[in-house]
Amino acid sequence: MGRNGVEVPAAVIAYKLRDASSWWQDINESVVWQDRIFHVLAVLYGLVAAVALVQLVRIQLRVPEYGWTTQKVFHFLNFLVNGVRCLVFIFRRNVASINPPIVQHILLDMPSLAFFTTYALLVLFWAEIYYQARAVSTDGLRPSFFTINAVVYAIQIALWLILWWKDTRLLVILAKMFFAGVSLFAALGFLLYGGRLFLMLQRFPVESKGRRKKLQEVGYVTTICFSCFLVRCIMMCFNAFDKAADLDVLDHPILNFIYYLLVEILPSSLVLFILRKLPPKRGITQYHPIR
């Protein structure tokens, strides 16, 4: 039905749909628009990398007497991931022409793995807080963190080597589904330990200092990170089986923009903003370095 209650002919609806589809296709096939969108992504990643670096410097100036704390490593990895993504999108057209193609896979996939490690570190930090508050030993958490990351990287490197040896459609699907599984694992990690920590904080006395702020912080970050990894998992599944959802080609710039905005740029920006508080100065409270 039209605006005044008049029935709109099916031919008009079909024409409008074709027009919208044509607009999307025109942008995807335009070299100018491809470069513009990839450069916008590069600028956004550069801004996030700069914010992470500034925060890292501020933390170092605030507590210079400590080494690489969990907070410092988290911000450094954010800077690294977003900085590499920025460079990749600046030279996206050059990356697409690199031979052998396996190098393209590595340049596009490695930042995603590093993104997983960055936020898995946050899950580790929350797990340590949760178990320490319950007087449970945390001795096995860090070895588990390093073991999980080592296994993920080892499998991914093995998949790259196999793809280098024999680049088939089946292996590409397998590699993408593997990363979909890794993303789902990360999402469940945030749901498990973020949810546990949130429920534990809820049981603290209402008058506890900083309880409400910390409760909001954990709740917001858990929701953001769970959502971004779940969306990445779903998109990777589409990416694996539907060529129209392929993220590793130049002629899908709009899809690339939506995907990377939702699963990396926006979540990183929000988390960095939420976790912007500097650690207390020495002498006010204990602040343990990473071991």
Q: What span, in angstroms and rounded, lies between the C-alpha atoms of 50 and 272?
A: 11
Q: Which of 115, 61, 48 is nearest to 272 (CA)?
A: 48
Residues 222-245 pLDDT 10s: 999 999 999 999 999 998 888 877
Q: Is the pLDDT of residue 209 over 80?
A: no
Residue 101's contacts (CB-CB under 8 Å, 6 or more residues apart) are 167
Longest CA–CA separation in the chain, Å = 75
pLDDT for the residue numbered 34: 85
- What are the beta bridge partners of residue 282? 285
Unique residue bearing structure tokens 């971004």: 228
Q: What span, in angstroms and rounded, lies between the C-alpha atoms of 265 and 47?
A: 9
User: What is the pLDDT confidence band of residue 85, given thresholds at 50, 70 and 90?
Assistant: very high
Q: Cα–Cα distances in Å, from 180 out to 75, 152, 231, 255, 264?
A: 24, 12, 10, 17, 15
Q: Per-residue pLDDT averaged across 173-192, rounded?
A: 94
Q: Which of 254, 255, 237, 120 is nearest to 178 (CA)?
A: 237
For residue 157, what are its two tokens? 């490197």
User: What is the pLDDT confidence band of residue 287, given thresholds at 50, 70 and 90?
Assistant: very low
pLDDT for the residue numbered 12: 44
Q: Look up the pTM and report it.
A: 0.85
Q: What span, in angstroms and rounded, lies between the C-alpha atoms of 3 and 102?
A: 53
Q: Is the pLDDT of residue 17 over 50?
A: no
Q: Per-residue pLDDT averaged across 89-100, rounded?
A: 87
For residue 101, what are its two tokens? 């193609």
pLDDT for the residue numbered 290: 44
